[in-house]
Structure 1
Amino acid sequence: MENSVWIKQARVEDVPQLAQLFNQYRMFYGQSSDLDGAATFLQERITHKESTAFIAYSSSEDRRGLGFVQLYPSFSSVSMQRLWILNDLFVTTEARNHSVGRQLMDTAYRFALESGAKGLTLSTTNDNKTAQRLYESLGYERDEHFYTYELYFKG
């Protein structure tokens, strides 16, 4: 599978395929299936240039979605440089253990580098050891200096 993976930046016309993967990703994290909501959300992010997503396909001909990575733009005030938040990484069950996640991560890295960004930042759950091993094998370092705080609004 590794040699036949084809990765491309998602455009508006890719939203139906991306939404299928995004919906699976959300269900993986315990959300209810909402394919229409996923498509609307992604359409808005891509149309308004609020995110950049890359889709991994089985091949340029077959176009069976294997996974995706989604980046959101941010900035570092201290360094006055762009950052990318690697917010979402998902690989379908059948494509896992075939380096699809690593290839998507490499694509995100190249994109961030080419955009002149200072770097990439990401987070994962404490118990997602598979993702932690992947990130650490790619040179990501766990932050030992800052605590993360969150405030969510009900509604």
Structure 2
Amino acid sequence: MTTVRTATIDDLDVLTELLDGYRQFYQQPSDVQAARDFLRQRFGQADSRILVSVNTEGTLTGFVQLYPGVSTVGLNSRWTLNDLFVSPDNREKGAGRALMEAATQLAREHGVARLVLMTQVDNECAQRLYESLGWQRNTAFYGYLLDVN
């Protein structure tokens, strides 16, 4: 049984390891200190919402991170679900689904009109999860990126 709760600064050590694993999943080099600093900044600035999954033994197994934003066209708020990660030894046990459902519920509770996310084209496992939860692939807009540094 997986439970989901809001992350706290007390979760920093384990959450740091999870974030570092998430970054490595996306072919970034391990940098535990940078991951820790990044999370400390998120907690300090309160500019994201982080939920964590916890297994029956009380171990953090994954996280989802949401960043608030707005839509000028929709005249409403939307959150970007920027990160979803479950540790490899805890996958296929319902933690990812529980995190996604909790993120959706949190958005509803805050009157958020839409959640948006992007995932790599070849991340088919994640795509299956998203689509099984009713997420729809955006075919109306192209995504663009510009590195400015």
TM-score for the superposition, normalised by structure 2: 0.95
Secondary structure, counterpart of 1:89 in structure 2: strand
Residue of structure 2 in register with 1:14 after alignment: 11
The aligned residue for residue 88 of structure 2 is: 93
Where in structure 2 are the equivalents of 1:1-155 lying within 5 Å?
A: 3=1, 5-59=2-56, 62-154=57-149
Cα distance in 2 between the residues matched to 1:7 and 1:36: 25
- Deviation for aligned residue 1:94: 1.2
Query: For 1:125, what is the secondary structure of its paired residue?
Result: coil
Structure 1: runs of 5+ lacking an equivalent = none
Q: State the distance in 1 between where 2:96 and 2:61 align.
A: 9
Give the SS at the match of 1:123: coil
| Normalised TM-score (structure 1) | 0.92
1:6: Cα distance to partner?
2.4
Report the CA distance between 1:148 and its aligned residue: 0.8
Q: 1:98-129 CA distances to partner (integer Å, 9 max, x unpaired)?
A: 11100000000000010100010001011111
| Deviation (angstroms), 1:153 | 2.3
Q: What CA distance in whole angstroms lies between the structure 2 residues aligned with 1:134 and 1:96? A: 12
Aligned 8 A contact 1:12 1:47 in 2: no
Tell me the amino acid that sits aligned with residue 144 of structure 2. Answer: Y
Aligned mates of 2:44, 2:82 — CA distance in 1: 18
Q: Cα offset for 1:63?
A: 2.9
1:45, distance to aligned residue in structure 2 (A): 1.0
Question: How many residues are matched?
Answer: 149
Bigger drift between 8-17 and 49-58 goes to 8-17
CA–CA distance in structure 2, aligned partners of residues 33 and 153 of structure 1: 23
User: Which AA in structure 2 matches 1:121?
Assistant: V
Q: Contact between 2:3 and 2:98, CA under 8 Å: does it hold in 1?
A: no
1:56 aligns to what SS in structure 2? Answer: strand
Question: SS where residue 74 of structure 1 aligns?
Answer: strand
Aligned alpha-carbon RMSD (Å): 1.1
* C-alpha distance in 1 between matches for 2:125 and 2:66: 20
